[in-house]
Amino acid sequence: MPGNLTLETLSKAVETGEIDTVIVAAVDMQGRLVGKRFHAAHFISEGWHETHCCNYLLTVDMEMFTVPGYETASWEKGYGDYIMKPDLDTLRRVPWLEGTALVLCDLLDHDTHEEVPQSPRAILKKQVARARAMGFEPMMATELEFYVFENSYEAIRDKGTSNLAPISAYNEDYHIFQTTKEEPLMRALRNGLYGAGIPVENTKGEADAGQAEINVRYLDAMSTADNHVIVKNATKEIAHAMGKSVTFMAKYDTAKGGSSSHVHQSLWTMDGKPAFRDEKDERGMSDLMKHYLAGQLAYARETTLFLAPYVNSYKRFCVGMFAPTKAVWSCDNRTAGYRICGDNTKAVRIECRIGGADLNPYLAQAALLAAGLDGIENKLELEPELRGDMYQLDGIREIPKTLREAADLTESSEAMRAALGDNVVEHYVRAARWEIEEADRVVTDYELHRGLERA
């Protein structure tokens, strides 16, 4: 779903003083919004054409450190500019920030004016175009989980993370009374996003103390990814305004459940019919859906890097906490990495349960699409459904256990290189290698506690 402003309606809102600021933002490797705040009058007169940013934004890590080893940008190349080209279809109000609108940008090469192939939006666009060339519109949704803390970000910065106070004292999964206590924040989030043109369905308590989930309506893949990054940013901004904080880490506490971002997927024909539906099939699954799912399973281990991009991501995959450990499929079974939902209805779809809340939605959706479309093109045969408790089954396909393993698998994947491009694979494998290098060199609290006296 596109934004809810046009240049004309924005201009009128500026004339009346309703809007005075336009956030012009691109999406970085981590799925964060990066960019500038324009005076709205300047955006209307000139800024809507383009602006510029340093090309290091697609090579820095979470700490904005200038990471060596990338082909696209380096000290040797001088860290030049990218063009930020506003996608006016994404122009929208930001109700939770006074007098503010937001537009998302594509990143273009300064010399060629072509989209930078390693940029997240360009990566997903390529796979969407591939699907459309085959006659299908990819439809997706992400279920985004996070933890809410009573501590402000400033308090955490000043006092450390040892006294984090989740907003709930107990598991609040589907719990109405506990979520009533959280309603000032969650109501502001739902209404703010709805006012920004994002079709929020609901929020709910999730399966641990202080954990929440927000769901946005199933849409085309690009709109889903755009909405996802705005939802994450909005959640942080609204929580901050209320003196609270949130985290989208995949696993913030050893003893607590992780936070996921399940990705629901289906293909529809260009005239609006569900291509995954076959009323004659036992599960209502068309042959096309079976080929698509077979592709995702065939390359499940090779795509995990794009669903779990950090060292911490892999700590979420543990038995008995609703995060999968096996990359297999099952119907309406939350222990499987790939769960079939809505069987025998027109809403039959694949839910990939591997991704954590820390994923970049453009990369995750692109990788899943690439694998599924390969399955269709090569008519891959779907393996038999597995049933029961996948945690207890041995000898079946496992999700990579570490970022190092996932990066190795992606780096050697001919399928991912063919679909995404060598330059994209090498770029994001480099990001993973840097995360591993940093984690390997840092002394952790765990090591200090375990070894200070006893070593």
Q: Where are the alpha helices (DSSP H) in 160-220?
A: 176-181, 183-195
Q: Where are the alpha helices (DSSP H) in 49-152?
A: 120-133
Answer for the pair 146, 247: CB distance below 8 angstroms, yes or no: yes
| Closest-CA residue to 104 (of 117, 122, 118) | 122
Task: List the chain domain ranges.
Answer: 7-116, 127-421
Band (pLDDT 50/70/90 cuts) for residue 262 is: very high
pLDDT 10s digits, 58-95: 999 999 999 999 999 999 999 999 999 999 999 999 99
Residue 195 confidence (pLDDT): 96
| Closest-CA residue to 388 (of 328, 344, 428, 439) | 328
Q: What is the mean pLDDT of the chain?
A: 95
* Alpha-carbon gap, residue 270 to 121, rounded angstroms: 22
Please name the residue that has the structure tokens 């769960």.
Answer: 339
Residue 3 confidence (pLDDT): 81
DSSP labels, 341-401 = ESTTSTT-EEEE---BTTS-HHHHHHHHHHHHHHHHHTTPPPPPP--S-GGG--SS-B--S
pLDDT 10s digits, 320-334: 788 999 999 999 889
Fold (topology level) of 127-421? Creatine Kinase; Chain A, domain 2 (3.30.590)
Across 273-301, average pLDDT: 96
Strands (DSSP E) along 252-345, which ranges? 261-269, 329-331, 338-341
pLDDT 10s digits, 114-156: 999 999 999 999 999 999 999 999 999 999 999 999 999 999 9
| Closest-CA residue to 418 (of 445, 447, 378) | 378
Chain center to CA of 435: 18
Q: 1 pLDDT exceeds 80?
A: no
Of 1-10, 329-338, 372-381, the one with minimum mean pLDDT is: 1-10
Band (pLDDT 50/70/90 cuts) for residue 162 is: confident
Phi, psi of 191 (to 5 degrees): -70, -35
Of 29-38, 95-104, 130-139, 155-164, the one with minimum mean pLDDT is: 155-164
Phi, psi of 261 (to 5 degrees): -140, 80
pLDDT 10s digits, 164-177: 999 999 999 999 99
Across 366-376, average pLDDT: 98
pLDDT 10s digits, 289-321: 999 999 999 999 999 999 999 999 999 999 878
Q: What is the CATH number of domain 7-116?
A: 3.10.20.70
pLDDT 10s digits, 419-432: 999 999 999 999 99
Query: Exposure string (b/e) for 118-129, b if CB count within 10 Å is 16 or more?
Result: bbbbbbbbbbbe
Answer for the pair 386, 329: CB distance below 8 angstroms, yes or no: yes
